Structure 1
């Protein structure tokens, strides 16, 4: 006990001596923390969460660093005032990776939607257009399902990715050692698949889902985090394929998109409104849409005439596949009405599914963190120029709908229309940019967010945006019923070249919206047109070279 008595005062003395040192250490630590916060705020241009900073400062003891804390609060307040106007106009400037939802339909032309054609019932897409931006001049670079889907995946023209061989009556995939899906075995990872939109997202931490139609190449289990691939036609037993698309998309959002810590990207690939090959009825809508359009007489376009067919180039014959399909669908008025109504019913069914998928995002409070894109793989002739289906270079075939709803969109641009020449190959760069992922050098498209994200930069981007683009359809080798075609498309002129025929067409779109008056061959050629045609030939060759 004597030892204990002597130790107590010694310990107390040591404790008393340590207290000032501990106090100064605490003070130094608090001041250091505040200083580092100030430095971080300045260097990062105050892109930290200001609310969290204010809460932290409120907890700093007043007797340690009140002057510094007050100064920092004043500094944060001044930044709030300076940026308030920008934040009012810009709905999102966060660096957070956006979720991505791509709603991708089939054989759906640009004007088969209610916001451009009131005869078509698409309330969900109409609403999406009012909450986002509608691109009225959007087009594909090749108008056929499988090539167009490969163009979307790669962000490249067909001339570059060369994924599909059309030399067989049944398309198959070639050049595996050179093209997009080369060396699909995941080891080694030296292949072009890794440069596609889908692979880049998955490799950068996204939970990826693919539902429905695929087509641009073979699939492997490791391509997507979750996938449910199926094609076929409108009914799979008792199940309509659009209902299946909706069901599997909702299942991914509810059960497979992860725990919420990682972003997700869901690709919903609708089969509708694609027709059923070899069937007399062609289009088979869901029962939930069969009542639509019963009291309507659908209006057909002004070039749905024999006269328009006769104006087609002389190598278009009755055996052309587009003409054969026209006879299957539109050669009699009553048949034409049945076909187009069922086609529109399929569209309305996809619209309903899109509405329910977007509604699920709202229910899960994901809508403000998700980039939503609606578009389609190619346009569609509904009897125009005496044709059905797609492939060729008329507006009905190459223009497709595009709606983008982006949380970052400037609020002054929400609900507006953009008439720039946007393309299907722009979608991959746009989605990768939203994900904060570097765009591969071989992608030829351009990030479209610059057209809408900030008002000032959007104006500059609109001014510098492309003024023409190259279109191509390679046809099917040794099949004279599919004719290869190439084109240079501008807002004023469209130059069409048929390479196998060495045949040219020239249309002035502002005065010939339906492409009925060929200025190159209809006897109106004059010196002015000759100069324009020569200039377009030169521009066409440059665009063609750039596509490779």
Structure 2
């Protein structure tokens, strides 16, 4: 056959290829093992479990700062806290045109934001569709009644998908505030009424390492610490623990159900083969472990998050795989841009990780990373922390006091034995590597 004729035959196929849509689903205060598919024996997450069977689940995904605002800024910019400048809940200093939704909108994607923001003042004009929600679990519904925030997020996401221009690719970020506690409410976790009886007959197992409070560094292991105060609110009696955990899991199942309906709408519109779907969260979460609640600190419960990617480019025979690479929140922005065929700006410090699940064999990947967290309010409230994290070692520095910790994660995954005084030959190398990673982050 004539080569030129063959080329002409191929042109329509190439022209017909559509750019990928992006659906980014992000929940709040939800750690890596709060999924049925991650082995949790209690929580029910059937829709996310199905998503994992259809895509790739990353078992050791982590955040570079474990607090809502900073991590969300990292998800948008692909940068560490030291680079984007949001040290708590302020606006990041990175130009909007260097974020993944800003770049995609400029390139012609119909862009949407639904739900939580937490990065300074929200600017609706940056999106084609903007629906901001606060952190209270029940919100005004616009007609004098109340609606659960997860139901509101679902409703807004479905409105975006149904009303969007059908001649454009789209990118939608659905940022669920749940299952984050309603901090100023004595009940803390307020689930949707339809899930109020779920887990009623279940006894939630006590947290592993719940007696570890006495082993914490003094800057954390004291009653003035905010993580300890919230532990008393939620977990300091068996009755409180059962009530809090059941309501927390009910909120999780509510988000899972909303994700299921959003994904079903994709299917109904025939978009599964044209849409990259990501589910993750902004940080991990202490559920009573170490005598703490919430997040902030560089221990495993706090820094490890769920990450599921359903990519239509993934071969059928690789669906449902897990991957244990150290993928970070800063890697999401470059990965989304690359999937959409857009150039990754030099400002992004993360890396496109799609080669980890699309390529065989997978390329070399990072072996460690730098963790950072600024003081919030005061060192007594939430102290600063830094860490080097690898699959084998974790080195933690508490800058306010100079206290150091060193854990061998392979031998001690629960981080119970501080080896800082015994690993005299290993420690200098780890400290040196820590300083290298710290400089790179800045």
TM over 0.5: yes
Deviation of 1:302 (Å): 1.9
Q: Any idea what the Cα deviations from partners look like across 1:44-63, whole Å, max 9, x if unmatched?
A: xx57529x9xxxxxxxxxxx
Q: Which residue of 2 aligns with 1:493?
A: 393
Q: Which residue of 1 aligns with 2:170?
A: 264
Deviation of 1:411 (Å): 2.4
Is the 1:371–1:405 contact (alpha carbons within 8 Å) kept by the matching residues of 2?
Answer: yes
* Counterpart check, 1:468 vs 2:371: no
Pair 1:491–1:47, CA change in 2 (3 A): farther
Q: Partner of 1:115: helix, strand, or coil?
A: helix
Q: Partner of 2:424: helix, strand, or coil?
A: helix
Is the 2:90–2:118 contact (alpha carbons within 8 Å) kept by the matching residues of 1?
Answer: no
- Equivalent positions of 1:330-479 (< 5 A) are 330-454=235-359, 456=360, 459-461=361-363, 464-479=364-379
Q: Which residue of 2 aligns with 1:325?
A: 230
Q: Which residue of 1 aligns with 2:436?
A: 542
The normalised TM-score by structure 1 is 0.77
Mapped to 2, the partners of 1:292 and 1:400 lie a distance apart of: 24
- Equivalent positions of 1:152-163 (< 5 A) are 152-163=75-86
Extract structure 1 runs of 4+ deviating beyond 3 A. 34-41, 171-174
Is the 2:69–2:86 contact (alpha carbons within 8 Å) kept by the matching residues of 1?
Answer: no
Q: Any idea what the Cα deviations from partners look like across 1:186-207, whole Å, max 9, x if unmatched?
A: xxxxxx1110111001000000
Is the 2:379–2:400 contact (alpha carbons within 8 Å) kept by the matching residues of 1?
Answer: no
Mapped to 2, the partners of 1:363 and 1:35 lie a distance apart of: 40
Q: Partner of 1:460: helix, strand, or coil?
A: coil
Q: Which residue of 2 aligns with 1:217?
A: 120
Residue from 469, 476, 481 that aligns with 2:381: 481
Deviating more after overlay: 291-300 vs 341-350 = 291-300
* Counterpart check, 1:200 vs 2:103: yes
- Equivalent positions of 1:243-282 (< 5 A) are 243-255=151-163, 257-258=164-165, 260-282=166-188
Q: Any idea what the Cα deviations from partners look like across 1:363-419, whole Å, max 9, x if unmatched?
A: 010111100000000110001111100000000000000000000013232101000
Is the 2:373–2:384 contact (alpha carbons within 8 Å) kept by the matching residues of 1?
Answer: yes
Mapped to 2, the partners of 1:362 and 1:534 lie a distance apart of: 54
Q: Any idea what the Cα deviations from partners look like across 1:414-462, whole Å, max 9, x if unmatched?
A: 10100000000010011000111000001011111111123x2xx232x
Residue from 390, 412, 427 that aligns with 1:533: 427
Deviation of 1:300 (Å): 2.5
Residue from 515, 520, 523 that aligns with 2:415: 515
Q: Any idea what the Cα deviations from partners look like across 1:210-236, whole Å, max 9, x if unmatched?
A: 111111132223201111112131001
* Counterpart check, 1:242 vs 2:150: yes
Mapped to 2, the partners of 1:206 and 1:395 lie a distance apart of: 36
- Larger relative contact order (CA 8 Å, sep ≥ 6): 2
Pair 1:365–1:251, CA change in 2 (3 A): same
* Counterpart check, 1:504 vs 2:410: no
Q: Any idea what the Cα deviations from partners look like across 1:461-516, whole Å, max 9, x if unmatched?
A: 2xx10000111111225452111000000001111111111111000111111111
Q: Partner of 1:275: helix, strand, or coil?
A: coil
Q: In structure 1, list runs of 5 or more residues that go unmatched.
A: 1-33, 53-93, 181-191
Pair 1:39–1:127, CA change in 2 (3 A): closer
Deviation of 1:36 (Å): 4.6
Mapped to 1, the partners of 2:206 and 2:103 lie a distance apart of: 43
* Higher fraction of helix: 1
Q: In structure 2, list runs of 5 or more residues that go unmatched.
A: 141-145
Mapped to 2, the partners of 1:97 and 1:303 lie a distance apart of: 47
Mapped to 1, the partners of 2:255 and 2:135 lie a distance apart of: 16
Is the 1:410–1:452 contact (alpha carbons within 8 Å) kept by the matching residues of 2?
Answer: no
Q: Partner of 1:283: helix, strand, or coil?
A: coil
Computing the radius of gyration from Cα coordinates, the structure with the larger value is 1
Is the 1:138–1:402 contact (alpha carbons within 8 Å) kept by the matching residues of 2?
Answer: yes
Deviation of 1:173 (Å): 4.2
* Counterpart check, 1:137 vs 2:60: yes
Number of aligned positions between the proteins = 435
The normalised TM-score by structure 2 is 0.95
Mapped to 2, the partners of 1:367 and 1:278 lie a distance apart of: 40
Q: Which residue of 2 aligns with 1:115?
A: 37
